[in-house]
Structure 1
Amino acid sequence: MTTVAPATAGMSPALLTDTLALTARHLRLMVRRPPSIMGGIVLPIIFAILFLTVFGRVMDRAGLDYPQYMMPAIVVQAAFFAAMSGSVWAAEDASSGMVERLRAMPIARPAPILSLLIGETVRSVVGCVVLIALGYAFGFRFSTGVLGVPAFLGIVIVATASICLPYLVLGYRLAAPEPAQALGGVIYFPLLLESTLFVPKDAYPGWLQPIVEYQPLSCVTEALRAVSTDGYSNVASTVGIAMLWMVGSLVVFGLLAPRVFGRVS
């Protein structure tokens, strides 16, 4: 007979064990799905090579060190790919009845959400390391010294979690993979196009520049540039603004995620 988890399951001391077990499941499934590897690692590599080879010389002639400018943007883009993949995983679990099975088991209530979040973050960090290695071949460097590397990776981890969590909420709420994937793109592309990921803010009309500069995607990307490029002005405030966006997302959607997960039927 199925044992129903008590209402206090979310406070279970087994939270870590449950989360790690479900994270291992998620990573195994991810490895068995080639599209997951494509979306998390291969596509960002293709984007990086295309941008750096096609636009690199043009931007160099314009006085912009394009590999140094572009690699943080590609890393943020890879985090968004991981987030959109996470929304599809969440939607599949919701539509297949997996969520109801997990809710009926004696496991910590936050564990399924945390496991998806950790799994996608792990994939994003692996992709980040691969992209940095590729970037070095094109001239990208951590000119800020040894401390720049852990600062960069730390921002990547927090950024990936803060981007993935809203997408997990979206996936659980829609409970259908195709709409989750489609709506994820609708959210992503306006943020991508109206940002400083690929071009400086000065390339936009004057009235649009404040929006472009302070939207979350731009702030995170600029924070990565600040900790990787020596001589970047206002490093502390740049990283601080990005952290406000990221922590705000984690708090808001961290409170919302268990509610949405609990209503999946």
Structure 2
Amino acid sequence: MRQLLAAIGDTLVITRRNLMRIPRAPDLLIGFTVQPVMFVLLFVYVFGGAIKTPGFKYVDYLMPGIITQTIAFGGYLTAVGLSEDLRKGLVDRFRSLPMARSAVLAGRTLADVVMNLLATALMVAVGLAIGFRFATSVPQVLAGILLLLLFGFAFSWIFALMGLLASSAESAGSIGFLIVFPLTFVSSAFVPVQSMPSLLQAFAKANPFTIVVDAARALFLGTPAGNSIWLALAWSLGLIAVFAPVAVARYRRVVAN
């Protein structure tokens, strides 16, 4: 029990350290906050008039997708930060301290959760300013936000693995971008799946982003949920179950060498 409490304390210390570094990296902060806002304005005011979303204003249809994309990209901070810490020898310094080995990765991914929560608040504020409105109860909205944060936490472990595998911080971010960006656009995040060519429809329907976005829409807007909420939970927990152990194993191998 004492070891568990010590590990939790070490994780929180690393989390705080990672969060305190964010304001000192304005390029990462701008990319994490300004870029999603630009996406919202671009899609609503430039492309929105050409995209048909029966039964919804386009801004209402768009916001769950944009928030999901923003949260998934939040793991970029882990990929870049972890890669930089490895290259600068900071992880070796952590090894010399009496702290839990798990704290480095857990602190990284937990910091992503905090940043994703702040990003979600920002995106909701922007959405409300341009006409987005929730159509469900407060508990349903909170459940939707928690579901998206869990999905973002899962992607943080994927990005952590990218940071451990990449040769530089730049390549770590690029690899993660190349994974997430196509998945978000070939999904229901920005346009209805039914409007896509049949080949893309098959991929989009199986895409975890479509499943999570549809679940978020159900919880935010009251659309028929079907089994999307349970599938979104299954995808999130499944990704964590697969990539967290792989990332931990890779981390142990890296620090051992």
Residue in structure 2 matching 1:245, options 235, 238, 241: 235
1:185-244: CA deviations, max 9, x gaps?
A: 2212221232111111112222331320121111111111110012x11x2511111111
Hey, what does 2:247 align to over in structure 1? 257
Q: How does 1:83-232 map to 2 (within 5 A)?
A: 83-230=75-222, 232=223
Q: Which moved more, 1:81-90 or 1:125-134?
A: 81-90
> TM-score when scaled to structure 2?
0.92
* Secondary structure, counterpart of 2:180 in structure 1: helix
Return the letter of the residue paired with 1:106.
Answer: P
CA deviation string 1:72-119 (max 9, x = no partner)? 111112113211222111111111111222223211111111111011
1:6-85 correspondence to structure 2 within 5 Å = 12-59=4-51, 64-85=56-77
Partners of 2:175 and 2:49 in 1: how far apart?
35
Letter in 1 for 2:147: I
Compared with structure 1, are the counterparts of its residues 144 and 12 closer, same or farther at alpha carbon in structure 2 (3 Å cutoff)? closer
- Unpaired segments ≥5 residues, structure 1: 1-8
Q: Structure 2 regions of 5+ residues with no counterpart?
A: none
Deviations 1:1-37 (CA, angstroms, capped at 9, x unpaired):
xxxxxxxx9x553011101111111011112111122
Indicate the percent of aligned positions where both proteins have the same amino acid.
30
> In structure 2, what residue type is equivalent to 1:247?
L
TM-score by structure 1 length?
0.89
Partner of 1:5: none
Distance in 1 of aligned mates of 2:170 and 2:32: 18
| 1:260 CA displacement | 1.0
Q: CA RMSD in A?
A: 1.9
Distance 2:125 2:146 in 1: 17
List structure 1 runs of 4+ shifted beyond 6 angstroms: none
Distance 2:218 2:245 in 1: 30
